[in-house]
Amino acid sequence: MQFLMVGAGLSGAVIGRQLAEHGHDVTVVDRRDHIGGNCHTERDANTDVMVHVYGPHIFHTDDEEVWQYVNQYANFLPYKNRVKTTSRGQVFSLPVNLHTINQFFGKTMRPDEAHAFITEEQADTSITDPQSFEEQAMRFVGRDLYEAFFKGYTIKQWGCHPSELPASILKRLPVRFNYDDNYFFHKFQGMPENGYTDMITGILDHPSITVKLNTMFDRNMADGFDHVFYSGPLDGYFDYELGRLGYRTLDFERFIYDGDYQGCAVMNYGEEDVPYTRITEHKHFSPWEAHERSVCYREYSRAAGPDDIPYYPIRQVKEKALLGEYVDLAEETQNVTFVGRLGTYRYLDMDVTIREALDTARASLDAIAADQDLKPFFVAPI
């Protein structure tokens, strides 16, 4: 069969590769001048540092099959994400851990003492049924830690007060009562030695795959193909006819520094009056390389306009209602499957994106073998 993949990010690349391996012809188009989607990495011309062009990407997963899959296409080197934050004129360790708590309160508590201190003296136990992010944070960690580490960052990141965000964002106690400052819990973590774009180049490197860059999809392009896998924005497929799904976008202010600017890859800025959310110093993502000069991104978050890159889906009540209407339209569409973070309007980590892409390809191949139509969604967006 002839397949058209819209988007040369992880979703389009992984599904396309699986179909090509089973004898199908695959054309991949992307509106950008590079492959890799938002995981795209490239060497900075000034410093030679490998830059995560659309923001910092750290690979982490518990999924063994996904870990084996990415290791086929890249040499992953050990990398632990250790994030710091400035707040009230000091630098603290994130996620909030025993070091953060002892430093913040000027104490030398052991784990059980710190646990009792936070849950009995700090947490607001008068909140029995937290409804908002703010109430949930106050319930778990109390006002002091909430205001220093969660409030300002959240307001900047989401453009609204934490009292307007759902409690579900903070699912469990967001603190650790030991000195573990590894940002992620997952069993497998690492960074591809030559960047993510190199890895995705390997995935797309198959004789039955043709890649066309600088190519904007329009629906007429589907003629001549048996089926389309579309990883662009769901509302964009329908020319935004019902309105736009809300996204947050990011602005990166790039600067060069001679030497080591901040001593770590990611420094958050928790206070509301600092206009940016964090600074990323890219050379620290490749600790096995040596660079005198450094390239950094100051990161600002704001509501996405029509011409901005959509980064984080907002998925509040209003957006979910509109999403439901677009899903209804999509369900009536023939010969198109909507995939990936934009096609299903969800935040997806890379490992989840790959897992879903592998499953979608598998289910599609099964459907083809059984002479059945391919579904508009293999993963429900709502």
Ligand X SMILES: Cc1cc2nc3c(=O)[nH]c(=O)nc-3n(C[C@H](O)[C@H](O)[C@H](O)COP(=O)(O)OP(=O)(O)OC[C@H]3O[C@@H](n4cnc5c(N)ncnc54)[C@H](O)[C@@H]3O)c2cc1C
Active site residues: 172, 176, 248, 278, 299, 347, 349
Of the two residues 9 and 130, which places its CB atom closer to ligand X in the complex? 9
Taking the complex as a whole, the smallest distance from the CB of residue 212 to ligand X amounts, in Å, to 9
Q: Which residues bind ligand X (CB under 6 A)?
A: 6-12, 29-32, 37-39, 55-59, 216-217, 231-232, 236, 250, 311, 340-342, 348-351, 353
Residue 216 or 382: the one with the smaller Cβ distance to ligand X is 216
For 137-150, letters b (16+ CB in 10 Å) and e give bbbbbbeebbbbbb
Tell me how far, at minimum, the Cβ of 61 lies from ligand X, in Å: 8
Query: How far apart (Å, rounded) are the C-alpha atoms in residues 135 and 163?
Result: 7
Here the tokens at position 38 are 């938002």
Q: Is the CB of 7 or the CB of 130 nearer to ligand X? A: 7
Nearest distance, CB of residue 149 and ligand X, angstroms:
19
Q: Which is it for the CA torsion 173, 177, 182, 186, positive or negative?
A: negative
In terms of CB distance, is 97 or 353 closer to ligand X?
A: 353
Number of residue whose CB is nearest ligand X:
37
**Nearest distance, CB of residue 233 and ligand X, angstroms:** 6
Do 162 and 151 contact (CB within 8 A), yes or no? yes
Distances (CA, A) of 174 to 119, 186, 197: 12, 16, 33
**Residue among 101 and 211 whose Cβ is closer to ligand X:** 211
